Amino acid sequence: MSVEVSKIVQGVEPSATLAMSAKAKELKAQGETVYNLSVGEPDFNTPEHICDAAVAAMKAGHTRYTVASGLPELKQAICDDYNARTGLAYKPTQCVVSNGAKHALHNAFFGALNPGDEVVLPAPYWVSYAELIKLSGAKPVIVQTTEADGFKLTPEALLAAITPQTKMLLLCNPSNPTGACYSRDELAALAKIVVEKDLVVVADEIYDHLVYGGCFTSFPTILDGLQDRTIVINGVSKTYAMTGWRIGWLLAPEPFAKKIGGLQSQETSNPCSISQYAALAALRGDQSCVEAMKVEFEKRRNYVTQRIADIPGLSAPAMGGAFYAFINISAHLGRQYNGVQVDTSKDWCLELLQQKKVATVMGSAFGCEGYARASFAASMETLEIAYDRIAEFLA
Ligand code: PMP
Ligand code: GLU
């Protein structure tokens, strides 16, 4: 018998963000200059003191297995950092360190969902949520949010989506791909329904340090008792420019975290020991690098906001956080570009890459046709040329 793919894996789509980034890299390898606004990762190098800590860890012989759920001192540092910022009192026994926040999300879904459970997933959503939910045998129930509502889930829309099968709500705040940032009051209105309807919340807060001009509220701080029904996801990828190191984590009620630690001991064992020491240095070390990168991102966000406003027929909701512009391109669909008919956001992104060598990601990959996502985690020079080319492309 030849090897056949299981039914569950058949249903999983590859990551569109990584696919667009791979296409951009392919063109680059062919000698093209590509302006890559596709994948969302800081363009900064990991700060020096963090790299030094990794080298020191290697030299000190920290090159063996650690506790499967993560180094105790790293879990303590994660809790200390989160508790200091939120006033909550998480303990290391409530923390599981994984191979990136993506893996932590997989653990959260796989660990908390049964086949047939429904998860309310506000769209536009980050590409991996729907696929990871399906991998657990559960069903993503997509709820469209609107540009007019700032792409935020409203209490009415949440209520309308809930059925007897609904088990979980996914909240990405600040949002990838829209940059939407929820206020405390907006979260409180959703939390009330979460409690009334007895739901679990996966709160993906990986962009919590990248909030511009507002203030970030972590979901479990809204109401007493929310900690018992919330799984908080975070990691070092975005905050410390450490995407390649693959360290993320979840914070959850202790019995859940304990069971996930056991699952991870069977699936992957510990995340890379050296990366864990680097993450420890990131969390315990000087935090000025975080502020410095944020200042730079904010500068770029202001620049990109202006560029989009200046191009006829484009608009984007205000970017309260993260590092993405979610650009409404609907006025520019259904027309030809150098003789090529472009009807969908996928056509548009592929032609923009082909004709102008600017890589973005189609809105359809985020469950929202008529838009394109353009990361602004790129140098000012790259952004200037990329937006010049987008303007040329549309003209
Ligand atoms: N959540 C969101 C919203 C993201 O944008 C990303 C970026 N890839 C992740 C989770 C995963 O991050 P990582 O696996 O690099 O820690
Ligand atoms: N979160 C980033 C993005 O959305 C990284 C790529 C990925 O993991 O999807 O582009």
Q: How many residues does the chain have?
A: 395
Q: Using one digit for the tens of pLDDT, what is the confidence trace for 63-107?
A: 999 999 999 999 999 999 999 999 999 999 999 999 999 999 999
**Neighbour-count burial for 183-217, b at 16+ CB within 10 Å, e otherwise:** eeebbebbbebbeebebbbbbbbbbbbbbbeeebb
Q: Which atom of ligand 1 is nearest to the CA of 243?
A: 15
Mean pLDDT (whole number) for 291-301: 97
Q: Which atom of ligand 1 is nearest to the CA of 247?
A: 16
The 3-state secondary structure of 289-302 reads HHHHHHHHHHHHHH
Q: Using one digit for the tens of pLDDT, what is the confidence trace for 228-248?
A: 999 999 999 999 999 999 999
Q: Using one digit for the tens of pLDDT, what is the confidence trace for 305-358?
A: 999 999 999 999 999 999 999 999 999 999 999 999 999 999 999 999 999 999
CB 173 within 8 A of CB 181: yes
CB distance 100 to ligand 1 below 6 Å: yes
The residues pairing with 126 across neighbouring beta strands, listed in sequence order, are none
User: What is residue 137's DSSP assignment?
Assistant: T
Q: How many angstroms separate the alpha carbon of residue 18 from the centre of ligand 2?
A: 7
Mean pLDDT (whole number) for 250-263: 98
pLDDT reported for residue 196 = 98
What mean pLDDT value characterizes the chain?
Answer: 96
CB distance 17 to ligand 2 below 6 Å: yes
Q: Using one digit for the tens of pLDDT, what is the confidence trace for 42-67?
A: 999 999 999 999 999 999 999 999 99
CB distance 122 to ligand 2 below 6 Å: no
CB distance 74 to ligand 2 below 6 Å: no
Q: Using one digit for the tens of pLDDT, what is the confidence trace for 270-282?
A: 999 999 999 999 9
The CA R_g of the chain, rounded to the nearest whole Å, is 21
CB within 8 A of 224, min separation 6: which ones?
Answer: none
DSSP 179-196: -----HHHHHHHHHHHHH
User: What is residue 236's DSSP assignment?
Assistant: S
pLDDT reported for residue 214 = 80
DSSP 331-390: GG-SEEETTEEE-SHHHHHHHHHHHH-EE-EEGGGGT-TTEEEEE--S-HHHHHHHHHHH
Rounded alpha-carbon distances, angstroms, from residue 65 to 61, 157, 237, 245, 270:
11, 46, 22, 16, 6
pLDDT reported for residue 362 = 96
Over 90: is that where the pLDDT of 16 sits?
Answer: no
Structure tokens at 26: 């392919």
Neighbours of 267 (CB within 10 A): 15
CB 177 within 8 A of CB 147: no
Order of strands, sheet of 166-172, starting from the edge strand that comes earlier in the sequence:
95-98, 248-251, 230-235, 200-204, 166-172, 118-123, 139-144
pLDDT reported for residue 193 = 98
Q: Which atom of ligand 1 is nearest to the CA of 207?
A: 3
What percent of the chain stands above pLDDT 90?
95
pLDDT reported for residue 54 = 98
Q: How many angstroms separate the alpha carbon of residue 173 from the centre of ligand 1?
A: 12
pTM as predicted: 0.96
CB within 8 A of 212, min separation 6: which ones?
Answer: 294, 297, 298, 301, 319, 320, 321
Q: Which atom of ligand 2 is nearest to the CA of 15?
A: 9
Instruction: Grade residue 13 by pLDDT with cuts at 50, 70 and 90.
Output: confident
pLDDT reported for residue 150 = 94
Neighbours of 328 (CB within 10 A): 18
Report CA dihedral (276, 282, 284, 287) to the nearest 10 degrees. -170
Mean pLDDT (whole number) for 148-166: 97
Q: Using one digit for the tens of pLDDT, what is the confidence trace for 106-124?
A: 999 999 999 999 999 999 9
Distance of alpha carbon 85 from alpha carbon 57, whole angstroms: 28
Over 90: is that where the pLDDT of 14 sits?
Answer: no
CB distance 126 to ligand 2 below 6 Å: yes
DSSP 262-296: HHHHHHT-SS-HHHHHHHHHHHHS--HHHHHHHHH
**170 dihedral zone (left: phi>0; alpha: psi -120 to 50; beta):** beta
pLDDT reported for residue 19 = 86
User: What is residue 43's DSSP assignment?
Assistant: S
Instruction: Grade residue 1 by pLDDT with cuts at 50, 70 and 90.
Output: confident
Q: How many angstroms separate the alpha carbon of residue 238 from the centre of ligand 1?
A: 8
Question: What are the two backbone dihedrals, phi and then psi, of residue 15, each rounded to the nearest 5 degrees?
Answer: -65, 120
Rounded alpha-carbon distances, angstroms, from residue 38 to 87, 173, 328, 351:
36, 20, 16, 14
Burial of 160 (0-12, 13-18, 19+ CB in 10 A): exposed
Structure tokens at 200: 């679990």
